[in-house]
Amino acid sequence: MLRARVVLNPAAVVAPVNRRTFGSFVEHMGRCVYTGIYEPGHPSADEDGFRTDVLALARELGVSMVRYPGGNFVSGYRWEDGVGPAEQRPRRRDLAWRSIETNQVGIDEFAKWAEKADVEIMYAVNLGTRGVQEALDVHEYINHPEGTELSERRRTNGAEKPYGIKLWCLGNELDGPWQTGHKTAEEYGLLAASTARALKSAEPDLELVACGSSSSTMPTFGAWESTVLEHAYDVVEYVSCHAYYEEHDGDLGSFLASAVDMDHFVNSIVATADAVGARLKSKKKINLSFDEWNVWYLSRFQSAPLPKEWEVAPRVIEDQYNVADAVVVGNLLISLLRHSDRVTAACQAQLVNVIAPIMTEPGGPAWRQTIFHPFARTAALAKGDVLETRIDSPTYETARYGSAPVIDAVATHDAATGDVTVFIVNRDQQNPVELTIDLSAFGADLSVADSWTLTDDDLRAANTRDEPERVTLRPTTDIPTGALTEAGTEVRLTLPRVSWTALRLSR
């Protein structure tokens, strides 16, 4: 049997756990909004038309923040179309996803949903087809208290108090040639800096996110961030990162090591941002907003073009996720937590139906995809501080990422309660791994409270409308190849092949 070891020390703190790490994303794309979060006439719909079954699942998922309204969608969006009497709102073409936008949900409706879901809003402005003035206008509508044309329009529309949104994205993926209003780094950097200065003159304590690379495979990766930050370093707090992963041509080994690439992405952008700061002689540190990440079978989407007909809420990229996908999602969360000193905001894309942990049917049920479970359990258990995790693990070779450790892990420690939680993946496709966790630095009074594992003999097993609980978390000791023992200041677990585990220890 393969063996690995993890050593933890409460004094070796990376950073506090950031609740914004557990963000999600609602874009006006496919069925994310319409028949996703919003479906008047559904048996579960509330007085505002929101599906309460989806709201309950969003709360269970532990989402802390939601990016809205896009995404590629925002680069052609006119925010004012989505406010005022619903029957007077225009229907528009959405070029990004080749669909019809009815504008029945806009910022006022979404703010109501966010309040019900108890989530913070991260708002994205259109810097594709629009610019500084339009960003100031939507900010005035959203955040100005009263006494101006747009703040009074908001009050007339039913929201007496401002929404108080603090985190704003300055456009979306303007590095991508697919983006409406695509720009060079120089063009975008100048526009982002001008927009940021204007917004901060209206509200100085806003937190602003400049567009970074839409993928680490972009030919401008690194150079884009460098140029943009040369212009905007002093007026933004974040640069964004976007990354999606999939299994290519049956190469499961590389896919299971996707977090190796996420680590590389983070480290590269941190180095780039810090280099710009050094050139500018600035003591300020730019943090990362990893505000789009997930498993997405992009190759399937690229081989199946968008609908020819212009429809409202067409079915677009409704990927069905399996066990291996869930293990990778759990591992990507491990990577995000590991970098909590610089990744202080993140959004899994998206929340409902569109590459999402929650699925719905119009007029029908809502259910949890496999990827729901590692996200929900991590959001619930990761508290206190992220600890440095020393891992001694066997390695294996991957075609995409070179040598990768079989075991990856991260741990959190809540000093207030004494709880320690360790999140672990076993990437080996054939073998269980006996993992020893050394807790000697904590003393002798920690014991196992619970341990949950996601795995299955069938790595392609998925949850569906007919079998919504086919794949779920199970106690580690209930799995035939799983085991857990305690010996003094060590805990030993046998981790099944291709599995994700959350182990919680208490005093």
CB 96 within 8 A of CB 311: no
Tokens standing for residue 383: 């508290």
**What pLDDT sits at residue 482?**
74
Q: How confident is the model over 13-23, as a mean pLDDT?
A: 98
**Confidence tier at 409 by pLDDT (50, 70, 90):** very high
DSSP for 262-288 reads HHHHHHHHHHHHHHHHHHTT-----EE
**Tens-digit pLDDT profile for residues 254-310:** 999 999 999 999 999 999 999 999 999 999 999 999 999 999 999 888 877 788 899
Q: How confident is the model over 30-55, as a mean pLDDT?
A: 98
Q: Which residues pair with 492 in a beta bridge?
A: 436, 485
**Size (the chain), residues:** 507
**Confidence tier at 443 by pLDDT (50, 70, 90):** confident
Tracing tokens 């420690």 back to the chain, one arrives at: 413
Residues carrying an active site annotation: 173, 292
Spacing of C-alpha 3 from chain mean position: 32
Q: Which residues pair with 195 in a beta bridge?
A: none
CB 495 within 8 A of CB 435: yes
Residue 482 CA neighbour count, 13 Å, CB half: 23
**Confidence tier at 67 by pLDDT (50, 70, 90):** very high
Q: Which residues pair with 239 in a beta bridge?
A: 210, 288
| Nearest by Cα to 357 from 425, 293, 450, 452 | 293
**Confidence tier at 480 by pLDDT (50, 70, 90):** confident
Going through 19-118 in order, the beta strands assigned E by DSSP cover 23-25, 65-68, 92-94, 99-101
| Nearest by Cα to 354 from 31, 25, 23 | 31
| Distance between first and last Cα of the chain | 31
CB 343 within 8 A of CB 288: yes
Question: Any residues with CB less than 8 A from the CB of 264 and at least 6 apart, and which?
Answer: 216
Helix (H) or strand (E) holding 393: none
Coil, strand or helix at 88: helix
Ranges of H-type helices in 123-184: 132-143, 149-156
Tracing tokens 């509508």 back to the chain, one arrives at: 141
DSSP for 351-388 reads SBSSS-SEEE-TTS-EEE-TTHHHHHHHHHH--SEEEP
Measured CA to CA, the distance from residue 363 to residue 221 in angstroms comes to: 43
Q: Is the peptide bond before 71 cis (omega within 30 degrees of 0)?
A: yes
Mean pLDDT of the chain: 97
CB 453 within 8 A of CB 500: yes
Q: How confident is the model over 118-127, as a mean pLDDT?
A: 98
Inform me whether the pLDDT recorded for 77 exceeds 80: yes
**Confidence tier at 485 by pLDDT (50, 70, 90):** confident
Q: How confident is the model over 413-433, as a mean pLDDT?
A: 97
| Nearest by Cα to 375 from 135, 72, 159, 58 | 58
Measured CA to CA, the distance from residue 156 to residue 138 in angstroms comes to: 15
Inform me whether the pLDDT recorded for 488 exceeds 80: no
Numbers of helices and strands, H then E, in the chain: 11, 27
CB 103 within 8 A of CB 156: no
**Cα angle vertex 262, ends 74, 274, to 5°?**
85
pTM: 0.97
| Nearest by Cα to 28 from 76, 62, 63 | 76
Q: How confident is the model over 153-165, as a mean pLDDT?
A: 98
